Structure 1
């Protein structure tokens, strides 16, 4: 799945982007004086920030005194991907959404005992435990957000497993009435072949042993994926937006992301802009993908996303 190679590349890039963090890591007093939070579209910068701020919310998230505005009545819950965490995954989108006037909340889920490969930002690797348990954690967090904000529903944005796992919450744990929109960034909604690796005998079990139960559950044809999609892939009353890149090397084939059913918008970035280079790891840090996210959250004020080259691995 090339994850170690990707991480090595990103750590190298991180050394060259550390200066971009100076505005983000300003003192609290200085932060209060700023009208807006800086938004840095770079996974390398996110890695550096997460390594320096483990187990903390990303910039702009988890202000429990935040009350939704009439323009944005639903708070936004950010759900990270497998082996990732909220600090890293939402380094760009969290401040972007906060600047746009949303109440933003994020969590770490699926943390279990043991040693698992993962990106910096959490003392225990997140997104590796059984997906059913993670969905229950998400449900508890949603209830906390609703109580704190007084809202009746949230919107969700999830990357990778974070776009798939909430569907279990919606389908089996009573979450559908509490969610208005679910936005998935490169989710593996129909399971991944992991570039064909998952088809090798014993490979899913080995992946689960090395990288956690959630990895094994997300393999194409797994009992979890089969059960999740059986009887329909969407829930009444929930709107779904899937944002995907043809260059995805983890959720493969890339079409595994797309959902079938009512209330679904499936967006392939390259259909609208062939210059987008986003891959699985960089899509949360891709500025064009971010514009699609904003459109999905507020379709009444949607604008045409720009078109310019963006980078794999790092984003832009």
Structure 2
């Protein structure tokens, strides 16, 4: 699934130098704890974990988990239902690190965080004792100086550069003015100018034409190693091949052998079913929920024809989701595409189509959709989504049901990760979607019966 766009900058260097790379022995490799961002889940680390495994990092030393309430409060000091404070995020991370240390017997861990996850990491190391147990940190797209720093604009938010939380994080730590806690090695990865949350103009926060007082270099930290990768979007600063390469080089001192997941003979899949079904980064996508388990949901898995989305026989697995939200394990073929069907009260019956899984994963999180009022007039609804990055019309090669212009994706900028196709017929048919070489094919289902289709990219 490697694309031409990914083979740039650091990615190209890795390919050229792969022959001389070396992998440390397993005994040298610390456990890694991956920390997701605002409104996200552990699922976003799936391809990153595959890349670490494919380069020799032991699977039993790679950990990603779901923060129950992943969304930040509007005002960090004010309780808000379904939201978490910076202190609560730090407490969750501390508990996860303690669990990993106990499970592995290691004395230290590596922390890798995306976006808001970087705030929790910095807070834990600076204020929660993490400096005693953390060896290295990688921060991708972390709004290290806020997303905005405007007087009178939500100054209590964790994402305001003027908030008490952000001011104390960025206080100089030594005479050199370093912003990172000493004793820990730090790497930040940022885009040159394509991160929607590191923009001098407030277009992506609903304030077009208003200066944010934050520059493209907002994610960089004084005292850290700061890497800039051209044209990456906000999520790709953590989840792209180029971001992985930067992290691998930082952690090991050598280039990775491969940027692509190496296929296994069979893939054992499992994960959680939660109610987080809509994208909090796309305001038009509607309401969203949390990472709490969706007990009682029904799951069915079908092998499908990768060119038509048609089912190849009866369900390969059916399961009622228990109180912990876990599903699986399911043994998948790495050369086979699958349809995951979820049904639960209050949600649409959701048909999720995925390209083949080359490797095992325990973070295949599944989320049923809710039908927005604005979509109910359609006969069929198909959602094309890219959880680990955004759609960029100027940068990417895309096609959705034969169209190169994706509904809802702006002609400039990378800030939307899903597109909705509202069809005027409920006649069942095939709908293909492509993004930079990855292809997902699904089928339509009648919206009148409360059914929707999701074509979900892995890369």
TM-score bracket, shorter-length normalisation: 0.5 to 0.7
Match of 1:183 among 110, 130, 138: 138
Cα deviations by residue, 1:275-302 (Å, 9 ceiling, x for unpaired): xx31113333321121111111212x23
Q: 2:98 aligns to what?
A: 143
Q: Secondary structure at the match of 1:91?
A: helix
Cα deviations by residue, 1:237-291 (Å, 9 ceiling, x for unpaired): 2000001002111133221111112xx2001113xxxxxx311133333211211
Match of 1:248 among 166, 184, 195: 195
Q: Secondary structure at the match of 1:217?
A: coil
Q: 2:327 aligns to what?
A: none
Match of 2:167 among 206, 209, 226: 226
Match of 2:247 among 293, 297, 314: 293
- Map 1:275-294 onto structure 2 (within 5 A): 277-294=231-248
- Structure 2 residue 154 is the aligned partner of structure 1 residue 204: yes
TM-score normalised by structure 2 residue count: 0.43
- Give the RMSD, CA atoms, in angstroms: 3.5
Match of 2:255 among 302, 311, 314: 302
CA distance in structure 2 between the partners assigned to 1:115 and 1:304 by the alignment = 41
User: Which structure is higher in strand share?
Assistant: 2
Q: 1:267 aligns to what?
A: 227
Instruction: Classify 1:302/1:223 alpha carbon distance in 2 versus 1 (closer, same or farther; 3 Å).
Output: same
CA distance in structure 1 between the partners assigned to 2:133 and 2:245 by the alignment = 24
CA distance in structure 2 between the partners assigned to 1:154 and 1:160 by the alignment = 19
CA distance in structure 1 between the partners assigned to 2:51 and 2:126 by the alignment = 30
Q: 1:82 aligns to what?
A: 38
Q: 1:106 aligns to what?
A: 64
Q: Is the 8 A contact 1:41 1:92 kept in 2?
A: no
CA distance in structure 2 between the partners assigned to 1:241 and 1:181 by the alignment = 8
Q: Secondary structure at the match of 2:135?
A: strand
Instruction: Classify 1:41/1:222 alpha carbon distance in 2 versus 1 (closer, same or farther; 3 Å).
Output: farther
CA distance in structure 2 between the partners assigned to 1:75 and 1:287 by the alignment = 20
Deviation at 1:234, TM superposition (A): 1.8
Match of 1:70 among 21, 24, 27: 27
- Map 1:103-142 onto structure 2 (within 5 A): 103-109=61-67, 111=69, 128-142=83-97
- Structure 1 residues not aligned, in runs of 5+: 1-19, 21-38, 43-67, 117-123, 209-215, 271-276
User: Which structure is higher in helix share?
Assistant: 1
Instruction: Classify 1:80/1:99 alpha carbon distance in 2 versus 1 (closer, same or farther; 3 Å).
Output: same
Identify the range of structure 1 (99-108 vs 164-173) with the bigger mean alpha-carbon deviation.
99-108
CA distance in structure 2 between the partners assigned to 1:269 and 1:134 by the alignment = 28
- Structure 2 residues not aligned, in runs of 5+: 6-24, 75-80, 174-178, 200-214, 260-393, 397-413, 418-434, 437-458
Cα deviations by residue, 1:89-112 (Å, 9 ceiling, x for unpaired): 212102211233241001222617
Deviation at 1:76, TM superposition (A): 0.5
Q: Is the 8 A contact 2:39 2:71 kept in 1?
A: no
Q: Secondary structure at the match of 1:70?
A: helix
Instruction: Classify 1:143/1:310 alpha carbon distance in 2 versus 1 (closer, same or farther; 3 Å).
Output: farther
Q: Which has the larger radius of gyration?
A: 2
CA distance in structure 2 between the partners assigned to 1:183 and 1:266 by the alignment = 10
Instruction: Classify 1:114/1:175 alpha carbon distance in 2 versus 1 (closer, same or farther; 3 Å).
Output: closer
Cα deviations by residue, 1:112-147 (Å, 9 ceiling, x for unpaired): 79999xxxxxxx97xx41011111110111011011
Q: Is the 8 A contact 1:278 1:310 kept in 2?
A: no
